[in-house]
Amino acid sequence: MKVCIVAEGCYPYVVGGVSGWIHSMIQTFPDVEFVILSIISDREQSGKFQYEMLPNVTAVYEAYLNDVDWKPSKRRKMVRLNKIQYRAVRSIVMNTETDWNVLFDLFRDKRFSVDDLLMGEDFLRIVEEFYNKEYPQIVFSDFLWTMRSIYLPLFLILNTEIPKADIYHCVATGYAGVLGGMAEHAFGCGLIVSEHGIYTREREEEILKAHWVSGIYKNIWIDQFRKMSILAYERADLVTALYGHARHLQIDLGCDPNKTMITANGIDVSRFVNLSGKQPEDEGMVNVGAVLRLAPIKDVKTMINAFAFAKKKVPNLKLWIMGPMDEDLEYAEECKELVSVLKLQDVEFTGRIDVRDYLGRMDFTILTSISEGQPLTILESYAAKKPTIATDVGNCRELIYGEEGDLFGTAGILTHIMNTEEIAEAMVELATNVSKREAMGEIGYKRVHAFYRIEQMKQKYREIYKDVYNRVKG
């Protein structure tokens, strides 16, 4: 069996989160041949892997969202679309029902030039029609160039040469889902879509908050991501979600309920047995651990501000910020600068670590993200019998209180996003109540053993791969 994992903006270039899950999946099936098709911004990022490739990974391919047209001019096909092709391109711009198969065939022509299409007469006419119908009140030249910038990454993805595999496993919808849909059309392969967060909703949130896009263009970008997700849902044999609410969101966005399945994350709980406890330098301190990458989506600044308030009430509190700082160097520096401006003592930036070297020293953990799926860091915290403070995003509520049928109890404190006062109060509550945090830690330990062991995840995906493979092979 050959499986192509399709990832956007993560594996093998970024550590942790979805990347860690992909690496674990590949380790889980040493008898399966994997190839990686990774979507990255441009060729500047090419080959800068943060993971050493496992023996059963036979190739890594790249797709670029921003690139130049490398085709020699003598091989380029000057783009004038026939009627069927024109209708297909028009439909995706005009938000009508799209014949994706026509688009897949059009862009697979090796002589085809994305540049020629975007700068050609057909695309101009389509954009003019869209403009006159929807947005005649704005400047057309700005509108035209923005539409070209919106469709450049999609057209580059459609123009990507893709490897053949028995199963395509897309770890998101979006551009990854487009590649999966292309592969299903080209090779008749099986297609699995696994969402750790709901891609459409995450992109919508980002765009609404973004400064680089304004006005009506926000709506056009959001529609673009929605169209790509619908394609992935329609073409997939199976669509997985990490928890129940995420599955319901997939259905709300147009996924057939009969295709959906919940596949919770799982961790190797045996890795967190017999962890080293507190060190001599921890004497008298209450250690709070934040295992994350320093990036805006983790909202580390709110965590630092909340810690500053909590430390006024609990002077022996110490915050450990543990994880890579190279994803967004500017944000990492801003976090360090905030610590300096606040004149905070007892804030430690460790950089990339083996979490097992530190979790045993912590009294509880914290996650103040503004978006999450089902955080592995919380599961690892529970495996080490440490309760957690987490914002009410993704599956954090259910991890703390339990899913339906889980009667273990409460394993931490849930807070609202960006609520500095509430997060600070949660830190104080756990820091000053030893018996409470120990009881919560025991509940988390029972929960992770009952529902989130890697053996359970492995067995579920073993069945999924086998079922989809058999379906493809007839």
Residue 221 sits in a domain whose CATH number is: 3.40.50.2000
In a domain, 472, yes or no: no
pLDDT tens by residue, 415-447: 999 999 999 999 999 999 999 999 999 999 999
Provide the token pair at 370.
Answer: 């503004």
Give the 3-state secondary structure of residue 264: coil
Q: Which of 75-89, 168-182, 288-302 has the lowest mean pLDDT?
A: 75-89
**Taken in order 397, 400, 401, 406, is the CA torsion positive or negative?**
positive
Cβ neighbours of residue 166 under 8 Å, at least 6 residues apart?
Answer: 1, 2, 3, 189, 190, 469, 472, 473
Q: Take residue 46 and report the two structure tokens written for it.
A: 């090419």
Looking at the structure of the chain, the number of domains it has is 3
Average pLDDT over residues 342-362: 95
Range list of H helices, 296-433: 300-313, 329-341, 376-383, 396-401, 420-431
* 275 found inside a domain: yes
Residues 309 and 434 both lie in one domain: yes
Q: Which of 96, 119, 149 is the last residue of a domain?
A: 149
Residue range of the domain that includes 347: 269-452
If asked whether residues 281 and 357 sit together in one domain, one would say yes
Same domain flag for 235 and 276 = no
What are the structure tokens assigned to 160, written together?
């990507």
Q: Are residues 107 and 199 in the same domain?
A: no
Looking at the structure, tell me whether residues 245 and 298 fall in a common domain.
Answer: no
CA angle 337, 340, 342 (to 5 degrees): 110
How far apart (Å, rounded) are the C-alpha atoms in residues 40 and 322?
25
Q: Are residues 292 and 392 in the same domain?
A: yes
Alpha helices in 236-375 (DSSP H): 244-252, 300-313, 329-341
Same domain, 325 and 196: no
Token pair in block for residue 342: 């606040």
Say whether both 281 and 226 belong to one domain. Answer: no
Domain boundary among 231, 247, 262: 262
Neighbouring residues of 191: CB distance < 8 A, sequence distance ≥ 6:
167, 168, 170, 180, 181, 183, 184, 235, 236, 237, 238, 468
pLDDT of amino acid 17: 79
pLDDT of 75 reads: 54
Cβ proximity of 439 and 410 under 8 Å: no
Distance, CA of 168 to CA of 35 (rounded, Å): 10
Asked if 381 and 365 count as a contact pair (C-beta separation under 8 A), the reply is: yes
DSSP letter (8 states) at residue 54: P
Q: Are residues 22 and 37 in the same domain?
A: yes
pLDDT for the residue numbered 72: 63
Closest to 319 in 3D by CA, of 274, 367, 352, 356: 367
Q: Which residue blocks in 159-215 are alpha helix, DSSP H? A: 174-187, 199-209
Tokens, residue 274: 């017999």
Q: Is the same domain home to 255 and 279?
A: no
**Per the domain annotation, does 464 fall within a domain?**
no
Position 77 in a domain: no
In a domain, residue 459? The reply is no
Backbone angles phi, psi at 168, to 5 degrees: -100, 125
Residues 199-221: tens digit of each pLDDT? 998 899 889 888 888 888 999 99
Among 119, 134, 149, which residue terminates a domain? 149
Say yes or no: 373 and 401 in one domain.
Answer: yes
Q: Is residue 22 part of a domain?
A: yes
Across the chain, mean pLDDT equals 93
Residues 37 and 175 in one domain: yes
